[in-house]
Amino acid sequence: MYPPHYEGLTAFVDDPSLPLDNNASERDFQHHAKLRLQSLFAGSPEGAHRWATLLGVVRTAQKV
């Protein structure tokens, strides 16, 4: 099968709190991708990078 990744691929069997899919992560990424289009108005590449970093921190904090 996938010997190097077997442990990670079967982790949900040992830990029932792990989701079987990554739908939540996909939804978070979709939101981030849409907002990334708005970063065209960040003023500079550095400003866009800072804005994306802040957005990532905020989205992670919202999950907790």
pTM of the model: 0.41
pLDDT of residue 26: 83
What is the rounded distance in angstroms from the CA atom of residue 59 to the CA atom of residue 22? 16
Tokens of 37: 């289009």
Q: How confident is the model at residue 31 (pLDDT cuts 50, 70, 90)?
A: confident
Two tokens at 4?
């190097």
**Confidence category of residue 2, pLDDT binned at 50, 70, 90:** low
Mean of per-residue pLDDT scores for the chain: 80
SS (H, E, C) 1-64: CCHHHHHHHCHHHHCCCCCCCCHHHHHHHHHHHHHHHHHHHCCCHHHHHHHHHHHHHHHHHHHC
Residue in the structure block whose two tokens are 């989701």: 19
Q: If you average pLDDT over residues 54-63, what whole number do you get?
A: 82
Q: What is the pLDDT of residue 1?
A: 55
